[in-house]
Copies of this chain bind each other. A is one copy, B any other.
Amino acid sequence: MKKTFGKVSLLLICCFVSVGLFGATTTENHPALVINHQDVEQMRIAVKQNDAFKQAYFMQKARVDQMLQTTEALLVPQPLDGGGGASHEQHKRNYQLMYDAAVLYQISQQQQYAVFVADMLKKYADLYPTLDFHPKKKKNSGGKLFWQSLNEAVWLLYSIQAYDLVFDAISDDDKNLIEQNVFRPMADFLSNQSPKEFNKIHNHGTWSTAAVGMTGYVLNEPIMVEQALLGLDLSGTGGFLRQLDELFSPQGYYSEGPYYQRYAVLPFITFAKAIEQNEPQRKIFNYRSGVIVKAIEVAVDLTYQGRFFPINDAIKEKGINTAELVQGVAIAYSINQNPALLDIAIKQNSPLLTGDGLRVQQAIAQNLAQPFIFTHKVFGDGMDGKKGALVVMRNPNQSSNSTEQALVFKATTQGMGHGHFDKLHWQFYDQGAEIISDYGSARFVNVEAKQGGGYLKVNQSLAKQTVAHNTLVVDETSHFNGNRRVAERHHPKLQFFAANDEMAISRASINSAYEDVSFNRTLVMLAEDTQRQQSVVIDLVDITAAKPHQYDLPIHYQGQFIDSNAPMQTATAALVPLGEQNGYQHLWLTAKATLDDKNALSRVTWLNDNGHFYSHYSVPVQGEQRLFTRLGAHDPLMDLRPESAFIQRVTNKQNHQFINVLVRHGQYNPTDETTQGADAQLIDINTGVDNQVRWVSLHYQNGLQQLVAFNQTAQSATANQKFSYLNQSYSFVGQMAIFMSKAN
């Protein structure tokens, strides 16, 4: 199907080229990429009418005017530094400033902005032909202006838009100089001279294809556009369309995870917008049932309090207010007029000076915004959406302002080079804060002193390793033995997901992460009990193996340790690492406890900065250990944050069940000096299986009992389930149910 399409396109294109019918790509009329003529006319009116747009315009104008007056305004330095270094940052500022000035030129019609852009491009026309590879070039993906070709593609994507916007104001001689010395050689460098990067089915490839394709439209070079769409050889095995086919699942999930999804969507949506302007007949926004716009909405969906879930390599501060999503939301709204996107645009609070940005502001001014409702969602992974999934549980009816729960269950594919070895990992957010956390990536973006701003060594040795996540580690080795190639060939299986007003449940399994060990995990999030101000998550991990192993189940928690009922031996006089490799070498062992089964429940309680207490309960077995750790060992450059975790460990076990329950309780208010419910309340957990129904009963000190039951087999949503518990019969329809009783 895909190949056929590729061939058909190619034929059509060749036909177009041969008969000179490339009307759509002949951009006699500039600008015609993201911003077109009609947009410009509307924007010129809007800066006199729409308050938000006007304000954004004058702010940008003031900022650009100030920058144009500095001595650095026309600085085009020799490329010297890696990420974060002076020359690197200057070239980044330059493309942004050219783009911003070019937009101002179109809106204000003041020549000086166009002159500035032309002058700077001429400086690049002097510099670029003199450049060989960057002195600090990255292995395999080096650039000329920048240490990596990725940055060069980003430079081109912005600069070609700037050029398109000021096109009419530049003399033909200058155009010739700029095109011959900068845009053509750079596009050639990024495509023909970098075939591996260009054809790569990866976000780096998308930046290249988008930049080159847009350059093709502006320079009226259809072959560039075609190569961008179909790969260098026009076969369709590489290129933008293939990237669209493979990088997103049908639901719009990007396999690298939301941090890179945010980054990856920008070239997709920008180039798609340019395609739509120049070749509307391609109906690019309908491609794969509108997957590009879906991908924008999914990126929004994968946030808590405006920040992305930091799975895989991710900078935790990133969220919906990034430039990429501001652009993405504006274009997406222009396409689908989804009023919930306006709610996100309001939160972004960054009116965009484009036609799409204007349409968003006009709609907001007309009070068309509707709340973006975050709900339970399953994001299938892989081209077919069936290679595992990212499951997000939320409270039902959660509004976008809510600070309620979100549970992220990561049963996805590896997610390429930025993926972490964390199959069936979970994270939990509650009351505005991270509670059970993911380290994210170990990186200080563009901080030169921190390994040139790139990924730190501890990103590989810790952040990617299984023990840095909240999932099973067998024999202190990471999933797939930490081998990415192996990991890419396997993925978990989502067994079921179901939700109703009372609870959400999901189970996934994987049998490939370890040679002879299979495990599945069931996560249940009960609807928040607002009266008791309590939230409950049940976490069941079932392991089967061919031979005995050591099983570790870490919980990385955010907050201050309060206490545990385990007989803890704290390492008071010396700290040593918990292990030697696979991330264990980075964990200082701060305390340990050995449990016996007299401990009906083992409990660890901590206090989060959100003012609530969290108690993690588990049903221990004889000899089970609790290992308390803090990050920082074998960290010679002191790169790691000193985060804390505890690990449930059983040794010499073949099959095993971890039965855990997390409860939020109480409130600590240091301003009022009031504390309520600091004592945890769960006193017993029981679980069993009857007639394919697994049940879990929770008994609280106040007499409350909750009995959760679910069918363990996959998706049985319509069947009538029966089971007995304490000699009493229960039945329910569908996947699961909860029965409550209040004893006193």
Residue ranges of A at the interface with B (Cβ–Cβ < 8 Å) = 84, 89, 92, 315-319, 321-323, 444-450, 453, 560-563, 570, 572-577, 588, 590-591, 605, 607, 628, 630, 632-638, 641-642, 644, 668, 670-676, 678-679
A-B contact pairs, 9 of them (CB 8 A): A89-B676, A315-B670, A446-B675, A447-B668, A449-B562, A450-B562, A572-B635, A574-B574, A630-B642
Assess whether A674 is in contact with B446, with CB atoms less than 8 Å apart: yes
> Which B residue sits closest to A636, measured CB to CB?
B570
Copies of this protein chain in the complex: 2
Known: A447-B678, A574-B576, A638-B591. A318 touches B671 (CB 8 A): yes
Question: Which residues of B lie under 8 Å from residue A638 when comparing CB positions?
Answer: 561, 570, 590-591, 628
Chain B nearest CB from A369 CB (Å) reads: 22
Assess whether A318 is in contact with B670, with CB atoms less than 8 Å apart: yes
In whole angstroms, what is the CA distance A446 to B666 when docked? 12
In whole angstroms, what is the CA distance A453 to B670 when docked? 11
Assess whether A607 is in contact with B447, with CB atoms less than 8 Å apart: yes
Assess whether B634 is in contact with A572, with CB atoms less than 8 Å apart: yes
In whole angstroms, what is the CA distance A679 to B317 when docked? 22
Known: A560-B641, A574-B576, A641-B560. A84 touches B635 (CB 8 A): no
Known: A562-B449, A607-B444. A577 touches B570 (CB 8 A): no
> Which B residue sits closest to A263, measured CB to CB?
B673
Question: Which residues of B lie under 8 Å from residue A632 when comparing CB positions?
Answer: 590, 630
Assess whether B573 is in contact with A573, with CB atoms less than 8 Å apart: no
In whole angstroms, what is the CA distance A713 to B406 when docked? 62
> Which B residue sits closest to A83, measured CB to CB?
B675
Chain B nearest CB from A611 CB (Å) reads: 9
> Which B residue sits closest to A586, measured CB to CB?
B572
Assess whether B449 is in contact with A672, with CB atoms less than 8 Å apart: no
Chain B nearest CB from A734 CB (Å) reads: 36
Assess whether A573 is in contact with B572, with CB atoms less than 8 Å apart: no
In whole angstroms, what is the CA distance A346 to B676 when docked? 28
Question: Which residues of B lie under 8 Å from residue A668 when comparing CB positions?
Answer: 444, 446-447
Known: A572-B636, A573-B577, A575-B574. A453 touches B675 (CB 8 A): yes
Question: Which residues of B lie under 8 Å from residue A444 when comparing CB positions?
Answer: 560, 562, 607, 668
Known: A450-B562, A562-B449, A642-B630. A570 touches B675 (CB 8 A): no
In whole angstroms, what is the CA distance A445 to B675 when docked? 8
Chain B nearest CB from A650 CB (Å) reads: 23
In whole angstroms, what is the CA distance A575 to B668 when docked? 33
Question: Which residues of B lie under 8 Å from residue A674 when comparing CB positions?
Answer: 89, 92, 446
Known: A453-B675, A673-B445. A575 touches B575 (CB 8 A): yes
In whole angstroms, what is the CA distance A444 to B632 when docked? 26
Assess whether A317 is in contact with B572, with CB atoms less than 8 Å apart: no
Chain B nearest CB from A555 CB (Å) reads: 15
Assess whether A562 is in contact with B92, with CB atoms less than 8 Å apart: no
Which of A453, A605, A637 gathers most chain B CB within 10 Å?
A: A637
Which of A450, A632, A638, A676 gathers most chain B CB within 10 Å?
A: A638
Chain B nearest CB from A452 CB (Å) reads: 11
Known: A562-B449, A562-B450, A635-B572. A317 touches B671 (CB 8 A): yes
Contact residue among B321, B590, B637, B672 (Cβ-Cβ distance under 8 Å from A570) = B637
Chain B nearest CB from A607 CB (Å) reads: 7
Known: A89-B676, A572-B635. A449 touches B605 (CB 8 A): yes
Contact residue among B316, B319, B449, B673 (Cβ-Cβ distance under 8 Å from A563) = B449
In whole angstroms, what is the CA distance A24 to B561 when docked? 54
> Which B residue sits closest to A575, measured CB to CB?
B575
> Which B residue sits closest to A563, measured CB to CB?
B449
Known: A449-B605, A641-B560, A675-B84. A573 touches B89 (CB 8 A): no
Question: Which residues of B lie under 8 Å from residue A635 when comparing CB positions?
Answer: 570, 572
> Which B residue sits closest to A450, measured CB to CB?
B562
Question: Which residues of B lie under 8 Å from residue A588 when comparing CB positions?
Answer: 575
Assess whether A675 is in contact with B636, with CB atoms less than 8 Å apart: no
Question: Which residues of B lie under 8 Å from residue A590 when comparing CB positions?
Answer: 632, 638
In whole angstroms, what is the CA distance A634 to B448 when docked? 36
Question: Which residues of B lie under 8 Å from residue A562 when comparing CB positions?
Answer: 444, 447, 449-450
> Which B residue sits closest to A561, measured CB to CB?
B638
In whole angstroms, what is the CA distance A633 to B644 when docked? 15
In whole angstroms, what is the CA distance A591 to B633 when docked? 11
> Which B residue sits closest to A319, measured CB to CB?
B671
Question: Which residues of B lie under 8 Å from residue A675 when comparing CB positions?
Answer: 84, 89, 445-448, 453
Question: Which residues of B lie under 8 Å from residue A678 when comparing CB positions?
Answer: 84, 446-449
Question: Which residues of B lie under 8 Å from residue A453 when comparing CB positions?
Answer: 675
In whole angstroms, what is the CA distance A559 to B165 when docked? 43
In whole angstroms, what is the CA distance A453 to B666 when docked? 15
